Amino acid sequence: MDENKKRIQEMLPMPIKRRYNHYLRLERRLSANTLDAYEKDLDKFLGFLSEEKVGFREVSLDNLHHFIAGLYDIGIHSRSVARIISGVRSFYRFLTLEKEMDYDPTDLLEMPRIGRQLPEVLSLEEIDNMIGVIDLSMPEGQRNRAILEVLYSCGLRVSELCDLKLSDLFLNEGFIRVKGKGTKERLVPISQKAIGELKNWFYDRNVIQIKPGHEDYVFLSIRRGTQLSRITIFYWVKETALAAGIIKKISPHTFRHSFATHLLDGGANLRVIQMMLGHEKIAATEIYTHISRSRLREEILLHHPRNNRSLTKEDVL
C-alpha cells in the first residue's frame, strides 16, 4: 500500500469514513463526480494533518490557515482552494452533526475572494459553423452532429449527455428525461432539429456491435460499442471548434452556457431557464443575466456612434 494512503487511513477511522461517505451520498445527495472530488480534497487535508502530526479532532483555526497557505504556495487557484475548503467544512459539519466533535473548527474560516468570471458563449453562427465542419463521411460524423445539437438544444451537462438513455427519450412528445445532480430528474423540451439529427444517428447506431449492459445508452463509441465517455466528448469538441476557426476556450459546457444565454436574450423567464438547467438555486442561473449585460455593453461599444472611433470630424459636425 502507498505510504501516503496508509498514513491517511490511520488518520481517519474507517467506520467514520464510511458514515461520511453515506452522509454525502444519501443526505447531501452529491453526484458521483462531486463525491469523488470531496473525498480527494479530504485526503489532501488529512495528508497535511498527518505531516503536521495533528489529529483531525484537534484541528485549530491556525492549522486550517496553514493548510490553505500551503495550497496557495504550490500554485492552486483560488477557485480550487474554495472548493477544497468547502469539502473540509462539509467534513466537520458532519462530525458535529454526528456528535463526533463538540465544535466546528471551520466556523470562522473565511472563503477566498473569487471574482466573477463570465463563461464563454457561442453565437448561433459559431454553433452552426461547428456543426457544419463535422465530416459526415466519417463513422462518428452523424453521432457528433447529434451530440452538438442535443447539447445546445437541451442545455445538458456533459455527464447528463453521456448518461442519456433511449428510455429517456419521448421524441413524439418533444421531451427528454434528464438525470441531473443528486439523481434529480427533469423533463426538458428538445428541438425538432435535434430530434432529426438523433433519428439520423439511430440509423448508424443500429449497425454497431453493442456490448452487453450498454444497449440503452443513446451515444456510443463506434469502435467499442460502449457508453461514450466525457473525455472523448471534451476532446473532439475542442478539435471541432479549432476546425471551425473558433479561438475561444470551448468545452461541451459552452453549449449549456450558450443555450441559457440565448434563451434569456430571446425573452425567456429566468425561473424557466433555472428549471431547464436543473439549478437548485436561482443564484446559479443569474450569472446569465450578467452575460447578457456584458454582451449588450459590447454591442453598444461596437455600434453606437459615440463609441465608433472611425467617425471623421465631418461626421460629428
Which of 93, 214, 230, 253 is labelled catalytic? 253
Query: 286: which 3 cell numbers?
Result: 443569474
β-strands 185-189, 169-170: how paired?
A: unpaired
CA atoms of 286 and 38, how far apart (whole Å): 26
CA atoms of 123 and 40, how far apart (whole Å): 37
Whether 256 is catalytic: yes
Query: 38: which 3 cell numbers?
Result: 470531496
**Secondary structure string (H, E, C) spanning 47-79:** HHHHHHCCCHHHCCHHHHHHHHHHHHHCCCCHH
Which of 145, 157, 205, 262 is labelled catalytic? 157
Whether 113 is catalytic: no
Q: What are phi and psi of 191, to 5 degrees?
A: -75, 160
Sheet arrangement for strand 175-179: 169-170, 175-179, 185-189
CA atoms of 287 and 118, how far apart (whole Å): 7
Which of 38, 92, 152, 288 is labelled catalytic? 288
Whether 279 is catalytic: yes
Which of 181, 186, 224, 230 is labelled catalytic? 181
Which of 19, 25, 230, 279 is labelled catalytic? 279
Which of 143, 205, 256, 257 is labelled catalytic? 256
Whether 309 is catalytic: no
Catalytic residues: 157, 181, 253, 256, 279, 288
